[in-house]
Every structure is written in structure tokens, then in C-alpha cells.
């Protein structure tokens, strides 16, 4: 039955798999986001997704004869009003091309400032936070306030100083809470569009010896992105907002329970020591 549960419910059931550091990071993220929204910041979600070339061509990735294909990385951003009116970027990622595009985040911040004014730019934190030993927790308490650090994605480096220079705030989204990012659903919609409609963007040419296949990749991506209309974006944002409210309440309850349990244990220990005297 567990595999039929929604992501939020599964997370609550398995919350013991995450340590208190991760829960506090989530609570800190929700508090910071609400505070910035109350101060008049518009919320923008910036991120990227990888599209392997076999998804575009329709080849079988398990085929042993298939040459290893490169991966295309797409960078874009969205808000409750739809996709940010900024020209998204596509990068070909292979062994020869792994660098990040310089100045891309600065360009994005400038466009966002002109369109929306001051914004809180939410970017998913890529680094994973694993379970730690008890003696490591004290050293990692500084991770609760890591919003001042640079967030490096595959194709873009997001610097908080660059964001502040345009009047924005950069806010990292902790990795275990990816379902609080509506971009994940938008990327999923794009990939399903590619799978279901790639034949419409394929041209074939046959000569006396060879057969050629041309794929209008840029047109395909553009059409797939346009499928995510402002109304669909608004629905995704509302869904994320509801999950955020439920998760915030669950995290606060968990932390309070932990504090209450710890207090009771200390009282019990005190009574146990004082009792015999």
C-alpha cells in the first residue's frame, strides 16, 4: 500500500530516515520564503533538467550496440504567472563540454528585475545531506544557514551576491523536499511531450545508399515548454503551496515532539538520581 501513497505522505511516514538537521533546514526554508513573500518578493523557481539524446531519438537505451549518447541540459524558470519571459538555454553535455556558462545568472537576474521587480529565486540544493553520527551534528549546525553560499548546477552558477545586486534574494531548497519545486512537474510534462510527439518533429531523407533522420530539436523543446500554460503553472504553484503548509506543520510537530521527549527524559534522569537520596 505504501507505494500508492503520495510523495508528501511517504515523506512523513519515512521522516525518521532524515535527521533533525534536514528537518530544520526545511523549516528554515519555509520561514524564509514566507518572510520574503510578506516583504513583497515575487517567488521564482529556477532550475535545470537533463534530457538524454535517446529520449529524443527514440532509441533503446538498453541496446548494447548503441553508442553512448550525450545529454542535453535545459535551464529555465517559472512562477505563478507562467514561465519567466527569459530565453531558456540548452547545453550539450558530454565529456568535452562540462563547464558552466558565465554571466548566465546575471542575465537572468536582470530580466527578472525588469519583469517582476524584487524576487526570491528558489533553486534546488544539489548536495545531499546524509545521516550523520551524533558527534558530527554540532559541526553541521552551520548548514542551517547556508543560503549565503553559491549554488552550482550543471549549467549555471547561482551566486547570492549577484542576486542581491539586482534586488533579489537567493533561497536554496533542501534536496529531500524536491516536491516543493513545481519545476519537477514542468520538466516531467516536457519529457512526456517529447516521448509522445517526437515523430512529428522528425524528417527523413533517403538516397541510394543511406537513410538520414533529422530531428527539429529546438522546435520540439519550444513546443513542449509552451504546453505548460500560465493556468497550469498556477495549478502547480497552488499544489506546492498546500504541500508546503502541510509539511511545515508536520516538521514543527516533529521537532516539538523531539523537544518534549528530550525534556521528559531529562526529568526522568533527574528523578532517578535524586530519588535514592
CATH number of the domain that 163 lies in? 3.30.420
pTM for the full predicted model: 0.76
* Cβ neighbourhood burial of 59 (10 Å; 0-12, 13-18, 19+): middle
| pLDDT score, position 275 | 37
Supply the DSSP symbol for 97: B
Q: What are the grid coordinates assigned to 108, written together?
A: 537572468
Q: Is 182 part of any domain?
A: yes
| pLDDT score, position 210 | 80
Q: Is 202 part of any domain?
A: yes
Q: Is 272 part of any domain?
A: no
| pLDDT score, position 193 | 96
> Coil, helix or strand for 7?
helix
Q: Is 273 part of any domain?
A: no
| pLDDT score, position 172 | 93
Q: Is 193 part of any domain?
A: yes
Specify the residue for cell string 523549516.
Answer: 27
Specify the residue for cell string 523557481.
Answer: 45
Are residues 75 and 50 in contact, defined by beta-carbon separation less than 8 angstroms? no
| pLDDT score, position 63 | 66
Q: pLDDT tens across 42-51, in order?
A: 999 999 999 9
Distance CA 158, CA 151 (A): 5
Structural domain count, the chain: 1
* Cβ neighbourhood burial of 90 (10 Å; 0-12, 13-18, 19+): middle
Burial per residue of 21-46, b for 16 or more beta-carbon CB atoms within 10 angstroms, e otherwise: bbbbbbbbbbebbeebeeeebbbbbb
The region that residue 128 occupies, defined by phi over 0 for left and psi between -120 and 50 for alpha, beta otherwise, is beta
Q: Is 14 part of any domain?
A: yes
Distance CA 49, CA 153 (A): 10
> Coil, helix or strand for 88?
coil
Q: Is 240 part of any domain?
A: yes
Beta strands in 82-227 (DSSP E): 82-83, 89-93, 119-124, 151-152, 157-158, 169-173, 202-206, 211-215
Are residues 171 and 120 in contact, defined by beta-carbon separation less than 8 angstroms? yes
Domain encompassing residue 224? 2-130+139-258
Q: Is 246 part of any domain?
A: yes
Counting as low any pLDDT under 50, the low residues of the chain are 1-2, 4, 13-14, 17, 128-147, 266, 270-277
Q: What are the grid coordinates assigned to 184, written together?
A: 519537477
Distance CA 26, CA 177 (A): 8
Amino acid at each position: 500500500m505504501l507505494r500508492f501513497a503520495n510523495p508528501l505522505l511517504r515523506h512523513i511516514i519515512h521522516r525518521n530516515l532524515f535527521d533533525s538537521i534536514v528537518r530544520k533546514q526545511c523549516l528554515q526554508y519555509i520561514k524564509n520564503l514566507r518572510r520574503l513573500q510578506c516583504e513583497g518578493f515575487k517567488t521564482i523557481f529556477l532550475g535545470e533538467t537533463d534530457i538524454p539524446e535517446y529520449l529524443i531519438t527514440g532509441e533503446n537505451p538498453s541496446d548494447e550496440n548503441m553508442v553512448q549518447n550525450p545529454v542535453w541540459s535545459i535551464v529555465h524558470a517559472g512562477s505563478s504567472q507562467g514561465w519567466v519571459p527569459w530565453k531558456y538555454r540548452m547545453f550539450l553535455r558530454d565529456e568535452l563540454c562540462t563547464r558552466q556558462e558565465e554571466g548566465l545568472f546575471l542575465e537572468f537576474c536582470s530580466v527578472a528585475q525588469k519583469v517582476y521587480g524584487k524576487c526570491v529565486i528558489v533553486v534546488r540544493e544539489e548536495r545531499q545531506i546524509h545521516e550523520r553520527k551524533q558527534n558530527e551534528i554540532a559541526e553541521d549546525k552551520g548548514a542551517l544557514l547556508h543560503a549565503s553560499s553559491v549554488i552550482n548546477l550543471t549549467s549555471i552558477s547561482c551566486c547570492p551576491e549577484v542576486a542581491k545586486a539586482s534586488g533579489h534574494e537567493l533561497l536554496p531548497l533542501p534536496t529531500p523536499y524536491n516536491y516543493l519545486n513545481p519545476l519537477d512537474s514542468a520538466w516531467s510534462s516536457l519529457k512526456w511531450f517529447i516521448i509522445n510527439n517526437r515523430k512529428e518533429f522528425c524528417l527523413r531523407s533517403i538516397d541510394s545508399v543511406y537513410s538520414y533522420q533529422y530531428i527539429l530539436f529546438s522546435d520540439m523543446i519550444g513546443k513542449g515548454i509552451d504546453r505548460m500554460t500560465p493556468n497550469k503553472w498556477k495549478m502547480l504553484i497552488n499544489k506546492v503551496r498546500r504541500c508546503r503548509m502541510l509539511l511545515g506543520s508536520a516538521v514543527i510537530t516533529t521537532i516539538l515532539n523531539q523537544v518534549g521527549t528530550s525534556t521528559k527524559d531529562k526529568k526522568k534522569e533527574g528523578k532517578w538520581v535524586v530519588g535514592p537520596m
